[in-house]
C-alpha cells in the first residue's frame, strides 16, 4: 500500500505511533487528519470543513492550494528541483530581486546607500534570526544582542535564547550575550503608563537605560518583531520604532526586524516596517513569503552590512539555501500578490471589516478586554474583569487552568472556524486574501463563541 492509499484510520494510527509532534506531550494528542484544503478552507477525512482563521501557523497568507502557485511549483519541478547554493539559478535570482524590490518600496532619497539590497536564503524563520544576529555581530565586531520579552524568534539554539516567552525556559541556560528588555504594551504596561504617548516615552527611556548598563558599545544588534505576533499582536506605539532606530544610530547598533510573521501582506504592507516609517539594517522573513508551500525563509541585508562580507567570507551556509523549488514558489507568490492586490486587500480587511467588527465585539462582550491589530493580524484579549484586567486564563496556563480558552476554541471549531489561540487571546489571522463574506462569517462565529468566555466574567 502506498502512502496515498492508506485509510484515514491508518493515517491517524501511524501518526500516533510514529510522528513526534512539536511543543507537545506526545501522550494525549488527537491531531485532525486533514484531507485537503482550498482557499481559506480545509477539511478532514469525514468532510468536516473549517474556515482557516489561523492561516495554520499564521503563514498561509495566500490561502491554500492557490492554483497559480501550485502550477509554478510543478513547472519548476519539471525544470530543476535542486542545485547547490554556490551555483546561480534563475528562480533564486528572481526571488532575491523581487524580495529586495518589495523591501525598498518606501526607501527615500535619504536612505544613504543602506538599501536592503541582498538576500541570504534559509529554510525557515529560526535560521533567519540566527543568521541575522550572526551578521550583526560580524559587521559591528560586537557581541551583545538585545531583544524584548513577549517575543518569539524560533526554536534553534540562538533563536530560542532570543525568544521572550516560556518556550525558552526549557532551553536555558541559552546562548550567551543576549539581554532582554520590555517593549511597549499599553494594555499591560511594564511602565505603568496611562496612555500611548507615555508608553512610548517610558519604553524608550527604559531601553536607553538598558543600553547604558549593558554598555552600548558592546551591543551588535537589537532584534524586534516589528509587530509582535504570537505573543499578542502588539502593535508598536506611535514613535517607538523610530525611537529605537535613533538609539541604534546613536550607538552604531544594527536594527534587526523579525518579520517572519508580520511580513508579506499580514500587516497590510509588503513589509510591516513600511507602516511605521523605519529603516531596518536587517529583516528576517519566512512564512508569508510563499505561504509555506515549501520551506523557505531568509534575511534581507542592508548594503552596508553585506559590504562587510565583500572581501571576507561570510561564515554561514545551508545545503538548501535558495532552494530552486522554494524560490520559484516565492517568485510566483509575489507575482500573485501583485496581480490580485493581496497587500491592499489585507489592509482593507483590517480597516473596513475586521477592525470595526472587533470593536463591536468589544462593546458587546464583557470578556473582551481589548482588541488590537492591523491588516489581517488581530488579537482579542480576553479578561475575567475589565476593571482589573485579570486575564481569562493565567499567563502560560496549562491543563485545567487553560480550560476557558480550550472551551472557546472548541466552540469555534464546532461551528466550523479554526481559531488561533495563545494564552488569554484569540487571534484573528485568516489568509490575507480571504473574501469579505468569509471573514464576516468567521467573525459571526467568534461572536457566538464568545458567550463561552463571557460566562467566566466576574465583574
Ligand atoms: C516572529 C517569528 N520569528 C521566527 C519564527 C520561527 O520561524 P520557523 O518556525 O519557521 O523557524 C516565528 C515562527 O512562528 C515567528 O513568528
- Atom number in ligand 1 closest to CA 124: 10
Residue 211 exposed, middle or buried by CB count within 10 Å (0-12, 13-18, 19+): buried
Q: Is the CB of 125 under 6 A from ligand 1?
A: yes
Q: Is the CB of 286 under 6 A from ligand 1?
A: yes
The mean pLDDT of 113-135, rounded to a whole number, is 94
Q: Is the CB of 129 under 6 A from ligand 1?
A: yes
Confidence of residue 2 (pLDDT cuts 50, 70, 90): very low
Whether residue 1 is predicted with pLDDT greater than 50 in this model: the reply is no
Whether residue 48 is predicted with pLDDT greater than 80 in this model: the reply is yes
Residue nearest to atom 8 of ligand 1 (CA): 125
The mean pLDDT of 20-24, rounded to a whole number, is 96
Q: Is the CB of 420 under 6 A from ligand 1?
A: no
Instruction: Tell me the pLDDT of the chain averaged across its residues.
Output: 96
The confidence score (pLDDT) of residue 111 equals: 52
Give the distance (Å) from ligand 1 centre to CA of residue 152.
7
Give the distance (Å) from ligand 1 centre to CA of residue 96.
20
Residue nearest to atom 16 of ligand 1 (CA): 261
Task: Please give the backbone phi and psi of residue 395, each rounded to the nearest 5 degrees, phi first.
Answer: -50, 130
Give the distance (Å) from ligand 1 centre to CA of residue 153.
5
The confidence score (pLDDT) of residue 105 equals: 84
- Atom number in ligand 1 closest to CA 154: 6
The mean pLDDT of 125-132, rounded to a whole number, is 98
Question: Which residue from 61, 124, 125 has its CB within 8 A of the most atoms of ligand 1, so it is best to mutate?
Answer: 125
Confidence of residue 112 (pLDDT cuts 50, 70, 90): low
Helix or strand holding residue 144 (H, E): strand 144-148
Confidence of residue 7 (pLDDT cuts 50, 70, 90): low
Q: Is the CB of 152 under 6 A from ligand 1?
A: yes
Whether residue 315 is predicted with pLDDT greater than 80 in this model: the reply is yes
Give the integer Cα–Cα distance in Å for 177 and 74. Answer: 44
Give the distance (Å) from ligand 1 centre to CA of residue 224.
12
Report whether 397 contacts 405 (CB < 8 A). Answer: yes
Give the distance (Å) from ligand 1 centre to CA of residue 232.
14
The confidence score (pLDDT) of residue 107 equals: 58
Whether residue 6 is predicted with pLDDT greater than 80 in this model: the reply is no
> Nine-digit cell at 49?
470543513
Confidence of residue 201 (pLDDT cuts 50, 70, 90): very high
214-251 as b/e: b if 16+ CB within 10 A: eebeebbbbbbbbbbbbbbbbbbbebbbebbbebbeeb
The confidence score (pLDDT) of residue 109 equals: 47
Q: Which residues contact 157 (CB under 8 A, 6 or more apart)?
A: 130, 171, 174, 175
The mean pLDDT of 83-103, rounded to a whole number, is 97
Q: Is the CB of 229 under 6 A from ligand 1?
A: yes
Q: Which residues contact 456 (CB under 8 A, 6 or more apart)?
A: 367, 384, 392, 404
Angle between helix 196-214 and helix 240-251 axes, rounded to 10 deg: 20
- Atom number in ligand 1 closest to CA 295: 10
What is the model's pTM? Answer: 0.97
- Atom number in ligand 1 closest to CA 297: 10
Residue 296 exposed, middle or buried by CB count within 10 Å (0-12, 13-18, 19+): buried
The mean pLDDT of 120-146, rounded to a whole number, is 98
Give the distance (Å) from ligand 1 centre to CA of residue 167.
12
Amino acid at each position: 500500500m502506498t502512502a496515498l492509499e492508506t485509510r484515514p484510520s491508518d493515517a491517524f494510527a501511524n501518526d500516533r505511533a510514529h510522528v513526534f509532534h512539536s511543543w507537545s506531550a506526545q501522550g494525549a494528542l488527537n491531531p485532525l487528519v486533514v484531507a485537503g484544503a482550498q482557499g481559506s478552507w480545509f477539511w478532514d477525512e469525514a468532510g468536516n470543513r473549517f474556515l482557516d482563521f489561523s492561516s495554520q501557523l499564521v503563514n498561509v497568507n495566500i490561502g491554500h492550494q492557490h492554483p497559480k502557485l501550485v502550477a509554478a511549483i510543478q513547472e519548476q519541478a519539471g525544470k530543476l528541483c535542486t542545485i547547490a547554493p554556490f551555483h546561480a539559478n534563475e528562480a533564486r535570482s528572481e526571488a532575491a530581486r523581487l524580495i529586495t524590490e518589495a523591501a525598498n518600496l518606501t526607501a527615500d532619497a535619504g536612505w544613504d546607500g543602506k538599501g536592503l539590497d541582498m538576500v541570504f536564503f534559509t529554510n525557515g524563520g529560526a535560521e533567519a534570526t540566527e543568521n541575522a544576529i550572526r551578521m550583526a555581530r560580524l559587521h559591528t565586531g560586537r557581541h551583545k544582542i538585545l531583544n524584548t520579552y513577549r517575543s518569539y524568534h524560533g526554536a534553534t539554539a540562538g533563536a530560542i535564547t532570543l525568544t521572550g516567552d516560556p518556550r525558552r525556559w526549557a532551553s536555558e541556560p541559552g546562548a550567551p550575550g543576549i539581554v532582554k528588555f520590555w517593549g511597549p504594551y499599553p494594555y499591560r504596561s511594564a511602565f505603568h503608563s496611562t496612555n500611548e504617548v507615555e508608553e512610548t516615552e517610558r519604553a524608550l527611556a527604559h531601553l536607553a537605560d538598558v543600553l547604558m548598563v549593558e554598555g552600548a558599545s558592546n551591543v551588535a544588534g537589537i532584534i524586534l518583531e516589528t509587530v509582535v505576533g504570537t505573543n499578542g499582536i502588539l502593535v508598536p506605539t506611535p514613535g517607538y520604532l523610530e525611537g529605537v532606530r535613533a538609539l541604534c544610530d546613536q550607538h552604531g547598533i544594527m536594527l534587526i526586524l523579525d518579520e517572519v510573521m508580520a511580513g508579506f501582506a499580514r500587516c497590510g504592507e509588503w513589509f510591516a516596517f513600511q507602516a511605521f516609517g523605519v529603516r531596518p539594517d536587517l529583516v528576517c522573513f519566512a512564512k508569508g513569503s510563499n505561504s509555506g508551500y515549501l520551506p523557505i525563509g531568509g534575511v534581507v541585508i542592508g548594503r552596508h552590512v553585506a559590504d562587510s562580507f565583500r572581501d571576507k567570507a561570510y561564515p554561514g551556509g545551508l545545503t538548501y539555501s535558495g532552494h530552486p523549488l522554494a524560490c520559484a514558489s516565492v517568485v510566483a507568490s509575489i507575482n500573485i500578490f501583485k496581480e490580485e492586490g493581496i497587500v491592499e486587500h489585507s489592509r482593507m480587511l483590517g480597516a473596513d471589516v475586521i477592525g470595526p467588527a472587533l470593536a463591536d465585539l468589544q462593546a458587546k462582550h464583557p470578556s473582551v478586554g481589548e482588541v488590537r491589530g492591523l491588516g489581517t493580524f488581530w488579537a482579542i484579549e480576553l479578561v475575567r474583569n475589565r476593571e482589573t484586567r485579570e486575564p481569562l486564563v493565567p499567563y502560560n496556563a496549562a491543563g485545567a487552568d487553560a480550560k476557558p480558552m480550550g472551551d472557546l476554541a472548541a466552540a469555534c471549531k464546532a461551528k466550523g472556524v479554526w481559531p488561533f489561540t495563545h494564552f488569554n487571546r484569540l487571534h484573528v489571522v485568516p489568509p490575507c486574501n480571504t473574501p469579505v463574506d468569509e471573514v464576516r462569517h468567521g467573525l459571526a462565529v467568534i461572536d457566538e463563541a464568545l458567550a463561552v468566555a463571557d460566562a467566566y466574567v466576574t465583574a
